[in-house]
Structure 1
Amino acid sequence: MLDSLAFSPVGWLMIVLGIALAYVVFGIAGFGTALVAAPVLLHFMPLSTIIPLLVLLDFIAASGSWLPARKAVARGELRWLLPGMAVGCTLGVAFLLSLKSDLLLLAMGVFVTAYAVYSLAVRARPRTLVQAWAIPTGMIGGLFGALFGSGGFLYALYLNARLDSTAQARATQSALITCSTLVRLTLFLIAGVYADLSMLVLAACLVPAMAVGLWIGRHLTLNMSREAFVRLVTWLVLASGIALLLRYLMT
């Protein structure tokens, strides 16, 4: 199993840089690791390996972000989002391990890109969402998170439309992603995905790159206003949608 770690020096460099850049984005926005890292990692391993690998790293990253800021978590929002997210994660893991998901990938890319373009172009839009949107947001975010490792953008959009405090939105999102990754970790473990020792060794090798990326991302947003932060998240959502469409075209 460890033979799968026999990447060339250039391959290792690309993988490490891809992970570091992915976690710079995660440190800024709290999502996006798979959308950034997957186009690089797909040259070296299949998507069914990439997603469980990133789930391991995301769990470490999100836990480290959530625990120091746990008092700022909006627990009421979590209670609404978590049930749908658990259902979506379960369905997504089942699809990832058994079905081709090209059409869902295309639909997700179109939706994300269209929404981001609309959000950037139309300034006069509702300031808040009603809490009932938590149910579809949780389910679709969980589904996309399990399938593509990229459901966090939906949580970010929902929480930034519900909460006035950037710190509260980020802490709640980190707690939500920690719960999401824990659910996916458990499902992948039950499915026997982590029986491959090489994946665990590779994840351990990539933790330093993840930590450096997180540190850079967090320091880039220390003095950012809520408006600038929300707009930056929207631009990252747009980049995520374009990356999904490119991934679909390359498959």
Structure 2
Amino acid sequence: MLAQLPFSPLGWLPILLGVAAAYVVFGIAGFGTALVAGPILINFMPLSRIIPLLVLLDFVAALGNLLPSRRDVVRGELLRLLPFMAIGCTLGVVFLLKLKSDVLLLLMGLFVTGYALYGLAVKVRPATLAGWWAAPMGTVGGLFGALFGSGGFLYALYLSARLEAKEQVRATQSALISCSTVVRLSLFMLAGVYADKGLLLLALCLLPVMFVGLWCGRRLACRLSREAFVRLVTWLVLASGLALIGRYLTT
């Protein structure tokens, strides 16, 4: 099966390690796969293939996170965010399929770097947000989710400022990301992206690695401080973002 894909044996190693690391992070934080895997995968395929690939894997992973915690979902906040998330996802898919690959490379580098700097700078829980913040947070989260594969940090920021219980935040975020993957999956299907059998085959090959990453992430979440681990990953993401910007400037 692997022989049908255009990657050398040496090329497979960073791909498998990058995807595994991404889903370790997903198993702990519930989002962030594209922030970790994207800077690695972009050396082997364009961003317009990476994001649909990760959406397929995220769909399976998000369902696995949602099912055990579905009773803690706060439906009011979920329904408030969903319409704006769908609008943002639609805009993001259009931009992803229309923009030139070098422009997307720069945008992804800036996005990843900005997110990492934000994550390192913000050390306290944000103040309580009013409900109307669902409009900008949902729209921009959906846009970033479709364009760069990760708008989850915006949903986490909004929900942590609206809900008191950590379990409610995680469960509602898992439900939102599950809905986001369904929306993005549907939009990519309508755009004909998944007519590419090579992309589907690659996703199938990466499923075992995804499950291993999720399993490791969930075990680490029980033993390691989530804040300490996410901070370490944020430093790695910052280095990846700067590398992408440097790559754009030197090409």
> When the two structures are superposed, what TM-score results if normalisation uses the length of structure 2?
0.87
Distance 2:53 2:29 in 1: 20
Per-residue CA deviations over 1:55-82 (Å, capped at 9, x if unaligned) read: 0000000011112211111111111111
Identity %: 59
| Superposition deviation, residue 158 in structure 1 | 1.7
For 1:1-251, list aligned pairs within 5 A. 5-100=5-100, 101=104, 104-105=107-108, 108-109=111-112, 111-120=114-123, 123=124, 126-222=126-222, 229=226, 233=230, 236=233, 239-240=236-237, 243-251=240-248
Which amino acid is 1:222 matched to?
C
CA contact (8 A) 1:32 1:240 kept: no
CA contact (8 A) 1:85 1:143 kept: yes
Distance 1:5 1:79 in 2: 41
Distance 2:242 2:147 in 1: 15
Distance 1:134 1:115 in 2: 20
Distance 1:143 1:20 in 2: 25
| Superposition deviation, residue 106 in structure 1 | 5.5
Distance 1:40 1:103 in 2: 15
Secondary structure at the aligned position of 2:31 is classed as: coil
- Judged with a 3 Å threshold, the aligned counterparts in structure 2 of structure 1 residues 74 and 237 are, in CA distance, closer, same or farther, namely farther
| Structure 1 unmatched ranges of 5 or more | none
Per-residue CA deviations over 1:73-122 (Å, capped at 9, x if unaligned) read: 111111111111100000000000001445644653464244324312xx
- Judged with a 3 Å threshold, the aligned counterparts in structure 2 of structure 1 residues 239 and 164 are, in CA distance, closer, same or farther, namely farther
Quote the RMSD (CA, aligned, Å).
2.4
Secondary structure at the aligned position of 1:115 is classed as: helix
| Superposition deviation, residue 3 in structure 1 | 7.8
Per-residue CA deviations over 1:185-239 (Å, capped at 9, x if unaligned) read: 1111011000011111110111110001001111222367xxx646755665565
Distance 1:208 1:91 in 2: 32
| Superposition deviation, residue 49 in structure 1 | 0.7
